[in-house]
Structure 1
């Protein structure tokens, strides 16, 4: 599992890191908050690199990409991804976003509709009320110590600068703490075929994923027996459910190839 291409592109004032695996129809992989390309998508890349051209991008403040001294927004992330893709001559692709990356890919579909072939939105949300009880209260009290250890280790492996890790934690926290509900129009404007996925024990309520699915015309819905992301990657303790991951990735593959 080696990238066929990797490097940086200077877009919107900062250098963003990307990696490309395999060949075929382009599928852009957008990681979640606090994470990076391979942390979220390693299992996906292993299973799909012989069938798609997989393009992973580390978002601002994350992984190997540079950081900005302004608050993070999903809109900025969407514009950053679109700009990187233009730089590497990808005019149209499918997108798979996980967690906050799911929010980002919905904004890409809203802001850059011409770039989007199909959309996979995994464990995302668009209204505060959609998150499980106590989520935003615990975000208000989050401290650097409460950041999951695997995230810290992963970041420092890619970017061994502790102050940048603190910056990432600070920016990610603030984005969630200050999140304002999106208008339904963000979702109803999505024209591309869309697959919504979440776990039945995810950080967003299954009902919320259903509500999002209802707003997007001809969308598909998949609720799987899993916690946050464990249907596509290892759990925080490093364990993973191979059968469930195989199932999810096969369903996504069918959706993308249909």
Structure 2
């Protein structure tokens, strides 16, 4: 993977890392909890870099971006992404957010609607009851040892500071443990065209994704035979379902180019 540009920008008190691939209409890629640009979007970038200008961002505490001594919030992540785009002189873009990144791009549309062309919201949620049974109970007992090994390896490859890994895990865990349901207004305020994607065996219930789809007027919905993210990236076993990812990416490209 060869970005045409990469670097660090001083954004809201931290150094934020970004990579840009390809050229064309801007599409901002926002990774999930514990992830990074290429961990979440390697398969997507390889399929779309000849069709869009892809802007990958490592969020606070993740990948090669710095940390700040405040709790993680989706609102802060949204503000960071918007500030980075301003620094890169990108006036308007589409956004693809996966998992926690899906929550972040919904907050971008709510807080910074002037930046948003279209939204792809993949495997996100807005209410605790929308997650699979036992999810939040398990989060209360989460330890660094229970973090999936591929996420740990990926983080340490990008940032070999073990204390930074502990910091990221701690901040990510606390964000989930203390998550409070969003008002429906956050979703009903979204006026940009939006596509919701989820797996039928995802960590959020399909019914919850349907509920979000109904709240965003004119949005589209795609529920695929997949686990969390396996429709767009390798699963935690390292398996890549090429045909399923091809299908997802083709549908997303079609949506973005309508």
Normalising by structure 1, we get a TM-score of 1.00
Distance in 2, matches of 1:71 and 1:239, equals 33
Structure 2 gaps, min length 5: none
For 2:11, the equivalent position in structure 1 comes to 11
CA offset digits 1:64-117 (Å, max 9, x no partner): 000111100000000000000000000100000000000000000000000000
CA offset digits 1:93-151 (Å, max 9, x no partner): 00000000000000000000000000000000000000000000000000110000000
For 1:61, the equivalent position in structure 2 comes to 61
For 1:91, the equivalent position in structure 2 comes to 91
For 1:21, the equivalent position in structure 2 comes to 21
Aligned pair count reads 258
RMSD of aligned residue pairs (Cα, Å): 0.3
Distance in 1, matches of 2:163 and 2:207, equals 38
Question: Is 1:243 aligned with 2:215?
Answer: no
Distance in 1, matches of 2:68 and 2:135, equals 26
Deviation at 1:240, TM superposition (A): 1.1
Distance in 2, matches of 1:42 and 1:169, equals 22
Normalising by structure 2, we get a TM-score of 1.00
Distance in 1, matches of 2:149 and 2:251, equals 31
SS of residue in 1 equivalent to 2:163:
helix
For 1:110, the equivalent position in structure 2 comes to 110
For 1:144, the equivalent position in structure 2 comes to 144
SS of residue in 1 equivalent to 2:20:
strand
SS of residue in 1 equivalent to 2:18:
strand
SS of residue in 2 equivalent to 1:204:
coil
Distance in 2, matches of 1:57 and 1:151, equals 17
